[in-house]
Structure 1
């Protein structure tokens, strides 16, 4: 059994935060593999240029290529490492500086491999945030501009200088700058859309799983309602006979009365479940206060004061919503010390209903998980006055309410607990001006 919460104001949002975990934007192994490929390509280009007799500073170029290989070897010796976004930015920045230095030593903007400066910025756009990508893009623009202005000229085997005409060099430089911005924006937009789609798919899978569990529970409830009718009738009959036969045993009278009341309560619940799909065909809307009183009515005589302060619009009498609120009110009554309060507030576009009690409150560690099915396995989510539960009622209530469009929030007060339900007004308000439909025909 979990101890009650101390009398302190806590909410699901204000629960003690866990230490932040920095998600790994890209694996170190991926960057290392890409750098090995770049190093191999640079070495192959160096060898090809030498075979063609192109003249350029060979030793500095070879040292820069070796620097990329040495960085990879150092990373491999360190073993697998968790990479933060800034660590990824540092590695991509190194690749950009190394590539720009190679371009500056091999003809600058005239080098046909100058377009490769787009690669680090594109990778950054797919795995890093906007600010880091913008910073890397500005660095790439500055480096390629420096390489274009102060690049080391190269010559062919006959000593002819290999360079682009000024107008063509300017166009090449502008094309690279445009490419940096275009590829960064394009890669980021595509990545964001893929991420949004993945998140939406994950949320849909969770919703479908919850719907599946609820439908399964609905079948179980229907079967239980059918099967419990006869045993409850038998219990009531035997209880009545025992009252008659044990009329001379006043010490048992209270227990027999409690037994009959419990059986009557179960029977009333089963009748209410049976009427849920029938009565509401004739009465689909009602004043907010009346609907809340209907939800609270089964718990009015359980030794806890239920105060309702709700003047709001006419709302839909959705049996699922009424059952869910009844479940939440029952939970509040089970835990309350003396009273619960049900209040409602309407603004321009939403309706908010709160259910508060003066009990021990929810365990702070469970606030983010309340409303899930079996949040603790076969244990209660708080200390009850009448035994243990499994959190299944809160799961059913939350699922039904969210299906109606409500946002459900659990919080702790000082003292007590509070459940807040918030609907967009368009989803819960009823249009009482529309036609009621044909009256039922009464015969006999």
Structure 2
């Protein structure tokens, strides 16, 4: 099992939970029907003399196995990796026997040796796939040499030149290897993308819950402000009237102190409130500082720089959405993790677009993975320097994938690059020579909707 850091999401590395028994049963029934149809057609239509007893024996074995499995195990059972491997090995051996008694590689259905390997490569691990692939190639190689030849109508034995036999063997072997590798790679990338998207959804859901919680707290602080002020005022009047009664005066002072304490607690909790309509929007610079807030005191200097074109226009009010904040926070976290000492957050806006550049003075992205930045589970070999800077870093590229996915939901386009020539000596590099992330929005995608001053807040559903 592997756990994605920072989330409760756990993804299994094995494939035992991906193979449904009823799927393999259905595939075997389809194979049985196809085998019966092919044998019947060859015997009745083409007059080919086949050893029908042996053929029906092999097909009958598949029928018996399918019936036993169907009655013993429930259809919704998930096979273990070993169980799935044994099931596919049985199908492979049954197919090998049928092809052996029906002409070997002269039988065009020898192509079906590719099927069990492709299934294994799609849903099982590398070990079972190698076992099935090796067994398939061994059977195909043996059938190219030893088999029961086909006898045509009139007693003629079907023979083909050795060159064609070798060609059939080579085609099937290449097909097994190629389709096995291709199916495994596609299935692995598909599972990785599915796992990463699930982690992204969980990250967004967590951020949304924090936002909703902050809204509830802000609303509570707002609604309780008036009664607390009333309690404080009444307690002050009681203190004046009870100046000659020390015991009752102490109680009045305690009431006032506890009211002040409640006010301070609500004030501290309500600082994160975001459900107030006026707080659903913020200036661009404020949004960036909020996204960077958890990383300001981590020993690296964060420098916020408005661009040269921004002075001509009023700073835009943008939406404070969880996707934007969480995505930018991940980008800034990545820069802070690998920066030597400084991270520059440059932002600018024009009449049509809002642009952002995050640059650090670290080593930059590895040249061998820079073209895959933003893909999930991009792994690269870690050196000792990386381990010392970020010991908990899993090296999966998941943080950048989440940031890219969330920001693209808001209409942003992202670019990843290095701010230096990778072949330039370290002594010749400028200060801003690390990783560079560019984010660009159309202004209409990020701008907040106009909210009139003093507008009523929305009702919070709990």
Q: TM-score range by the shorter chain?
A: 0.5 to 0.7
2:110 is matched with: 114
Distance across 1 between alignment mates of 2:345 and 2:27: 66
How big is each residue's C-alpha offset from its partner over 1:251-277, in whole Å with a ceiling of 9 and x where there is no partner? 345543333233223444566678889
Distance across 2 between alignment mates of 1:434 and 1:424: 13
**Matching of residue 160 in structure 1 with residue 156 in structure 2:** yes
**Unpaired segments of 5 or more residues in structure 2?**
7-12, 273-278, 305-324, 347-462
2:17 is matched with: 24
| CA shift in 2, pair 1:402/1:238, >3 Å | farther
1:372 is matched with: none
1:177 is matched with: 173
1:223 is matched with: 219
Distance across 2 between alignment mates of 1:169 and 1:147: 10
Do the aligned residues in 1 keep the contact of 2:239 with 2:249 (CA within 8 Å)?
yes
Do the aligned residues in 2 keep the contact of 1:405 with 1:427 (CA within 8 Å)?
no
2:378 is matched with: none
1:41 is matched with: 34
Alignment equivalent of 2:336, drawn from 426, 433, 437: 426
Alignment equivalent of 1:75, drawn from 69, 75, 80: 69
Do the aligned residues in 1 keep the contact of 2:302 with 2:345 (CA within 8 Å)?
no
Residue 403 of structure 1, CA deviation: 8.0
- Report the TM-score, using the length of structure 1 for normalisation: 0.58
Greater relative contact order, per chain length (Cα 8 Å cut-off, separation 6+)? 1
Alignment equivalent of 2:58, drawn from 45, 64, 71: 64
How big is each residue's C-alpha offset from its partner over 1:69-110, in whole Å with a ceiling of 9 and x where there is no partner? 111111122131442111111010000011011111111111
2:275 is matched with: none
Residue 143 of structure 1, CA deviation: 0.9
**Matching of residue 55 in structure 1 with residue 41 in structure 2:** no
Output the aligned Cα RMSD. Answer: 4.2
| CA shift in 2, pair 1:139/1:227, >3 Å | same
1:313 is matched with: 299
Do the aligned residues in 2 keep the contact of 1:315 with 1:428 (CA within 8 Å)?
no
Do the aligned residues in 2 keep the contact of 1:155 with 1:161 (CA within 8 Å)?
yes
Distance across 2 between alignment mates of 1:274 and 1:258: 24
Residue 207 of structure 1, CA deviation: 2.8
1:241 is matched with: 237
Residue 45 of structure 1, CA deviation: 1.4
Between Structure 1 and Structure 2, how many residues are aligned? 303
**Matching of residue 141 in structure 1 with residue 137 in structure 2:** yes
| CA shift in 2, pair 1:401/1:171, >3 Å | closer
Higher mean Cα deviation, 180-189 or 197-206? 197-206
Residue 197 of structure 1, CA deviation: 2.5
Do the aligned residues in 2 keep the contact of 1:104 with 1:148 (CA within 8 Å)?
no
Higher mean Cα deviation, 199-208 or 176-185? 199-208
Distance across 2 between alignment mates of 1:21 and 1:434: 41
| CA shift in 2, pair 1:192/1:55, >3 Å | same
| CA shift in 2, pair 1:401/1:240, >3 Å | farther
How big is each residue's C-alpha offset from its partner over 1:205-255, in whole Å with a ceiling of 9 and x where there is no partner? 323333333333333333333333322221221122222222344334554
SS in 2 for 1:154: coil
Distance across 2 between alignment mates of 1:99 and 1:133: 17
Alignment of 1:1-400 (within 5 A): 23-51=16-44, 52-80=46-74, 81-268=77-264, 313=299
Residue 433 of structure 1, CA deviation: 9.0
Distance across 2 between alignment mates of 1:427 and 1:222: 32
Do the aligned residues in 1 keep the contact of 2:55 with 2:98 (CA within 8 Å)?
yes
**Unpaired segments of 5 or more residues in structure 1?**
1-11, 14-19, 293-311, 319-399, 407-422, 436-444
Do the aligned residues in 1 keep the contact of 2:49 with 2:151 (CA within 8 Å)?
yes
Residue 32 of structure 1, CA deviation: 1.2
SS in 2 for 1:162: coil
Distance across 2 between alignment mates of 1:197 and 1:263: 52
Distance across 2 between alignment mates of 1:427 and 1:109: 59
| CA shift in 2, pair 1:40/1:127, >3 Å | same
Distance across 2 between alignment mates of 1:225 and 1:167: 86
Residue 187 of structure 1, CA deviation: 1.5
| CA shift in 2, pair 1:21/1:130, >3 Å | closer
Residue 134 of structure 1, CA deviation: 1.0
Do the aligned residues in 1 keep the contact of 2:15 with 2:125 (CA within 8 Å)?
no
